[in-house]
Structure 1
């Protein structure tokens, strides 16, 4: 299926959004960052999207390794090849090797997961598939995360679920050939 809204160029994005898109592409070592080139067409929305996304991805209270576990599981559950392509690479740089990624994709019952990883994966599954956490899952997750981290977990899982929907609906092209 073809792109519904093609990535914009310098003229369509404006100088600022085009520049941000170029920096994003450089940061991932790709010729383009198509998500930014599509979202950048809505200038104000894109500029508000960036700081929120940046906090969720790079700062906040959750360790980056946990963030990548959550994002990879969301991408897997939603069949988001774009998210998986981006975050399989990023996850490796954040201590989530191929073996752990395979366990993430297998789910919370996979052998060799820590209790924390199992709690996070169970919570992602329930959050994405049910739009809620059972009381048991919430209690278990809360033994591993602070209140601020639980809030951030919900924001992170919801954000990447929304991005998966945007990527699929607008049919944003992949950034890498693989």
Structure 2
């Protein structure tokens, strides 16, 4: 779970000196984009300057220009955040998901799980696949077959990388105790 705001960060969010000019600018632009005083994840991760840039490009590719629809990507991210009890990921992606067509009702169904009433088949399969991938580090033959009915090879590869990225990110956020960006 992401650390509550009152828990001390193991690596506090950095400023210009810790981030360097490029990552500091990225942090400022990111904070403005999420409408927060700072983007804590960027202000922490950006302290490893080169690794942050490479990881950031990878994450941006998965989040913004991947082969999965933005809505399906958010379904996966919200489910991973829920499974890993990552309040930081959930706080960020509840907001982003709303802008991508996932209202509070659908978010509640994602959190309830694949057996929630009213899910479309594609989302039911996607949630099941996310659960299996995160919890077992694999996927059953049945779930894989169901995924192939909805997704191309490139999308299936991307699904694995997206789920793994956000699972690892949840662990990193929890370990480093990255502070929340919003009071809610």
Report the equivalent of 1:103: 109
Q: Are positions 1:78 and 2:74 aligned together?
A: no
What CA RMSD, in Å, does the superposition of the two structures yield over aligned residues? 0.6
Which of 27, 35, 51 aligns to 1:45? It is: 51
CA distance in 2, matches of 1:165, 1:23: 25
How much does 1:2 deviate? 1.8
CA distance in 2, matches of 1:51, 1:12: 20
Q: TM-score, normalised by structure 1?
A: 0.99
How much does 1:128 deviate? 0.2
Ranked by relative contact order (alpha carbons within 8 Å, sequence separation 6 or more), the top structure is 2
CA distance in 2, matches of 1:163, 1:12: 21
Pairing of 1:1-178 with structure 2 (within 5 A)? 1-178=7-184
CA distance in 2, matches of 1:99, 1:17: 36
- Structure 2: tracts of 5 or more residues without a match: 1-6
* Cα deviation code 1:62-101 (max 9, x no counterpart): 0000000000000000000000000000000000000000
Moved over 6 A (4+): none
Q: TM-score, normalised by structure 2?
A: 0.96
